[in-house]
Amino acid sequence: MTRMSEDRPDWERDGRDWPHRDASRFVEASGLRWHVQAMGPADAPVLLLVHGTGAATHSWRGLMPALAGRFRVIAPDLPGHGFTDPLPAGRLSLPGMASALADLTTQLDVRPVVAVGHSAGAAILARTCLDARLSPRLLVALNGALKPFPGLASILFPSMARMLFLNRMTPKIFAWTADRAAVQRLIQGTGSRIDPVGLDLYRRLFRKPAHVAGALGMMANWNLDALDRALPRLGVRTLLVVGSDDKAIAPDTAFAVRDRLPDARVELMRGLGHLAHEEAPERVTAAILAEFDALTAAEAPRSARASERPLPEVGNRP
């Protein structure tokens, strides 16, 4: 085995007991080999799950089965994360990530009616919607990273990530020091407490320099200014789920985003942090299903009224 292959998560070794491994497949799209999980009836409406920076499909291990009773659930590892190939440097940006994800949905021949994104995953989905590459009926942002960092942090954080990303030793050093205690401190620093299985899966990924490099590269080239300016044009119904204890993204951010969107609502979840969907998947599932059902019920009268309109006259007038 080469040193390069040792740097990346290996499906046969690191994925040997991956959550919902039987739902996994590998797909070629946008010049990359993607790890994708699919669950639920093949003829059900499609729901797309997009994880955040530094995570992978394991982040949805509790949510996927709960949603698969109503939807065909599709969950990929983002480029450079988990078991998916990294994007080339020239495409490593929010628009580049959004375009690659849209290419994947085209290759899979799926048209999501619901798109759920966690943290940076929500920004990727919002960008694909604004670029008219995806047209879901409902967008769900779980502690969504939809606004730039406030003040000087908007300059310092990406710059620091870029500096770390360009230093080839940084991912290796991080991986060497990613023991269970360090990973637990990192997760708790987001305001969340997840189960031991989740901690071990994050540790497994963080001990791979290529996964760390994928996360750093994503942050290094992240620019939310254009997305922030475009938010008022995001016409899709949006549910902003936010954990009250989120220490990664200030909960107040969701309310500021809501006020700039044409059709949005905030669902505040008390006692949960940045990884709310891993801490309490049943609560997050209930919120998603309730919002989708409310949207469907609201759309039904409009559809009925449209079907009752008289047909235009055809033929010559007398």
Cα(146)–Cα(264) distance, integer angstroms: 13
Cα(221)–Cα(174) distance, integer angstroms: 19
Mean pLDDT of 31-43: 98
Q: How many CB atoms lie within 10 A of CB 95?
A: 17
Q: Does residue 253 have a pLDDT over 60?
A: yes
| pLDDT value of residue 178 | 60
Mean pLDDT of 310-314: 51
Mean pLDDT of 110-132: 98
Give the least confident one: 128-142, 158-172, 173-187, 220-234: 158-172
| pLDDT value of residue 38 | 99
Query: Tens digits of per-residue pLDDT, 136-149?
Result: 999 999 999 999 86
Give the least confident one: 13-22, 46-55, 85-94, 169-178: 169-178
Cα(257)–Cα(144) distance, integer angstroms: 10
State the CATH class of domain 3-150+224-306.
Answer: alpha beta
Q: Does residue 305 have a pLDDT over 70?
A: no
| pLDDT value of residue 217 | 83
Q: How confident is the model at residue 221 (pLDDT cuts 50, 70, 90)?
A: confident
For the chain, the average pLDDT equals 88
The contacts of residue 294 (CB under 8 Å, 6+ apart) are none
Q: Does residue 316 have a pLDDT over 80?
A: no
**C-alpha torsion sign, points 147, 152, 154, 157:** negative
Cα(274)–Cα(287) distance, integer angstroms: 16
Give the least confident one: 112-121, 151-160, 227-236, 290-299: 151-160
Mean pLDDT of 7-16: 95
Mean pLDDT of 208-225: 85
**C-alpha torsion sign, points 254, 258, 261, 263:** positive
Give the least confident one: 29-43, 62-76, 194-208, 279-293: 194-208
More confident residue, 218 or 88: 88
Considering only CA atoms, which of 79, 133, 81, 144 is closest in space to residue 110? Answer: 133
| pLDDT value of residue 4 | 45
Q: Does residue 120 have a pLDDT over 90?
A: yes
pTM confidence score: 0.89
Instruction: Find where tokens 């995806």 sit.
Output: 134
| pLDDT value of residue 149 | 60
